[in-house]
Amino acid sequence: MSTKEKTFWWIGGLLIVVYAMFPIAWIISLSFKAPADLTNGSFLPTDATWQNYALILTGDASSLFLPALRNSFGIVLIATALASLLSMFAAYAIARLDFRGKRLILSTALGVAIFPVISIVTPLFNLWRNIGLYDTWPGLIIPYLSLTLPISIWTMSAFFREIPWEMEQAAQVDGATSWQAFRKVIVPLAAPGVFTTAIIAFFIAWNDFVYGISLTSTQTARPVPAALGLFTGASQFEEPTGAISAAAVVVTVPVVILVLVFQRRIVAGLTNGAVKG
Amino acid sequence: MSTVITPPGQKAPPQPTAARGGSSDRARSEQRLGWLLAGPAFAVMLLVTAYPILQAVFDSLFDYRLTDPENRSFTGLSNYWVVLTDRIWWVSLAVTLFITVVTVAVELVLGFGLAIVMNKALSTIRPVVRAAILIPYAVITVVSAFAWQFAFDINSGFVNGWLGLGEFDWFGGTWSSLFVVCVAEIWKTTPFISLLLLAGLAQVPEVLQEAARVDGASWWQRLTKVTIPNMKAAIMVALLFRSLDAFRVFDSIFVMTAGANNTETVSFLAYRQTISRLEIGLGSAVSVLLFLCVVLICVLFIKGFKVDLGAARGE
């Protein structure tokens, strides 16, 4: 490749980084603007201030934001764990066993994945009110399984298919008990796939807005995206822009760190399920 | 070309096990173990989708308001009649289709460009580029919607200043509102498409490129005659998944316009009928219609464009 060509692709790569970071940089910049500075019409704050962060973490808006943060983490982690557990068994069966109905299970997962979420919300809204699951953690964990299970099953089956399962027998021939063979050979081989799938499932549930806003009404169960959508200013005349930006940064930063640390695996996981990478 | 979905578990053609004679104990126990392991996941998936949609079909046949539950009465298909004869439904359908077509078309072109750059990017910066491209994917849709809304906002935004538009109110009209919604959607979901296309790009045999180059094909000819035809399957899968996803657009609309100025989408209409107005009957009818639209898009893709989900994975 000539130097000119190299420079060309280098600039292309740089443009992608700018493309990806631009709105993030903007919302970070916005979160450091003081209320009077919000309308200065420029990208950067005149004087950076922490007061928006103080507002959502210790101030007036903290009673809205902190419970939402706790709800989001709790509900999403439980839903991810449940989905990972269920799909681990299913993916093992799909990758290793020969049984009728395998196709049915995978087609069902695909069907559930393309299902319009709002079509599920309408009946659940009514049912949850009747059986007391409305505005509770389980009331969100259960529907979150519809978001996390299909992708978990597909991604994990794709990962499990790549595992050299013969190594289990090889270890047993070498004198390992079947438990040892499983723990020392299969678990280390399967763990990366399970872990990657769990991260992707976590992103999907963490991103949910439709269920969050429709099936909760108070801070007992309302997750962060829904709380952000319903944020209002301290008074009727004050725009909540600064507080929303600060809250957005707080919930975005951990996810961005996760992405940066595990980018290689996430790319493999995302493309494995749909297109063989 | 077949239209079957080949599951990832099947590398070799499935061997008939229990079918042959059906007497093999091993095959039967494998059958049982298979369902024992996969059954719970399967049951949960059915429980959280099949049951609600059937309930929605049932509810849609009633005149049923939560504020007046005593007067629930069976009305047959009249809810559908009410929805389908109302201009609101057709406007929201048109808006949804507009957003779907515009975002998916732009994302395909942009995503293809990003995939080519990532494919060519030197190994020194490739990890950086690949990590960066994942960021929009990982950012919550609501956060992305807010970021773009604030950027275009007449008070807090910088876009008007940068473009010298003065006091232009982007959220004051239908088309300018939809433009901003599309920008936010495109930013957020292009990375997903570009990663799928990148995987497809890696499957195009280098030998073909070389041969075309030797034969004197230009860069453009190689792209349109060699690269694209060879990754048609990957493109189609990316298109199908993104179209279905785009058709469900809800979060950005809720945050940015809340349906003002005729920017309501079908998902938002269903939400507003059920959750805000507590019209369970009408809301269910909209939900069922939305579901049918998604099924229709799927069928169109699979039958019309002959999308082969199995071939897309190179099997």
pLDDT (tens digit, 9 = 90+) per residue, A241-258?
A: 888 888 889 988 888 888
Assess whether pLDDT exceeds 70 at residue A69. yes
What letter represents residue B17's amino acid? T
User: Bridge partners of B65?
Assistant: B279
Q: Determine contact, residues B161/A42, Cβ cutoff 8 Å.
A: yes
- Closest chain B C-alpha to A178 CA, distance in angstroms: 18
Task: Identify the three-state secondary structure at position A161.
Answer: helix
pLDDT for residue B13: 44
Q: How confident is the model at residue A1 (pLDDT cuts 50, 70, 90)?
A: low
CA distance A62 to B147: 21
Note every long-range contact of A60-67, with CB atoms under 8 Å and residues 24 or more positions apart, other chains counting. Answer: A60/A234, A61/A231, A61/A234, A61/A240, A61/A243, A61/A247, A63/A219, A64/A219, A64/A227, A64/A231, A65/A224, A65/A227, A65/A243, A65/A247, A65/A250, A67/A219, A67/A220, A67/A222
CB pairs < 8 Å spanning A and B: 343
- In this structure, CATH architecture of domain B87-312: Orthogonal Bundle (1.10)
- B window 98-137, beta carbon within 8 A of A: 114, 117-118, 120-122, 125-137
Q: What is the pLDDT of residue A244?
A: 86
Which stretches of chain B drop beneath a pLDDT of 70? 1-23, 122, 306-315
Structure tokens, B219: 């860069």
The three-state secondary structure class of B62 is strand
CA A40 centroid distance within chain: 34
Least CB-CB distance to A251: which of B40, B140, B237?
B140
CA distance B42 to chain A (A): 6
Q: Give the whole-angstrom CA distance, residue A161 versus residue A179.
A: 21
Burial of A113 per CB tally in 10 Å (0-12, 13-18, 19+): buried
Identity of residue A187: V
CB-CB: which of B14, B200, B275 is closest to A275? B200
Domain with CATH 1.10.3720.10 in chain B: 87-312
The tokens for A238 are 């004050």
State how far the Cα of A207 lies from the Cα of A147, in Å rounded to an integer.
Answer: 10
Q: How far is A171 from chain B (nearest CA, A)?
A: 22
Give CA–CA dist B53/B49, Å, rounded.
6
pLDDT for A65:
85
* Cβ distance of B135 and A20 shorter than 8 Å: yes
Greater pLDDT, A87 or A10: A87
Q: End-to-end CA distance of chain A, in Å?
A: 25
With beta carbons less than 8 A apart as the criterion, state whether B140 and A15 touch.
no
> Using CB atoms, which residue from B135, B241, B267 is nearest to A118?
B267
B131 with A263: Cβ contact below 8 A: yes
Dihedral over alpha carbons B216, B217, B218, B224 (to 10 degrees): -170
Those residues whose C-beta lies under 8 Å from the C-beta of residue B227, and which sit 6 or more positions away, are: B201, B204, B209
Letter for the amino acid at A275? Answer: V
- pLDDT of amino acid A232: 62
pLDDT of residue A238: 57
Q: What is the mean pLDDT of residues A68-88?
A: 92
The reply to whether residue B41 touches residue A6, judged by beta carbons under 8 angstroms, is no
pLDDT of residue B225: 83
CA of A150: which chain B residue's CA is closest?
A: B45
Q: What are the pLDDT digits (tens) for B49-88?
A: 888 888 888 888 887 777 777 777 788 788 888 888 888 8
In this predicted structure, the answer to whether residue A275 has a pLDDT above a threshold of 50 is: no
Topology (CATH) of A64-230: MetI-like fold (1.10.3720)
Give residue A118's pLDDT band: very low, low, confident or very high (50, 70, 90).
confident
The chain-wide mean pLDDT, for chain A, equals 83
SS3 state of residue B220: helix
Considering only CB atoms, A149 lies closest to which of B18, B44, B196, namely B44
Provide the ipTM. 0.86
C-alpha R_g of chain A: 23
Q: For chain B, where are the E strands, in sequence order?
A: 62-63, 73-74
Report pLDDT for B102: 94
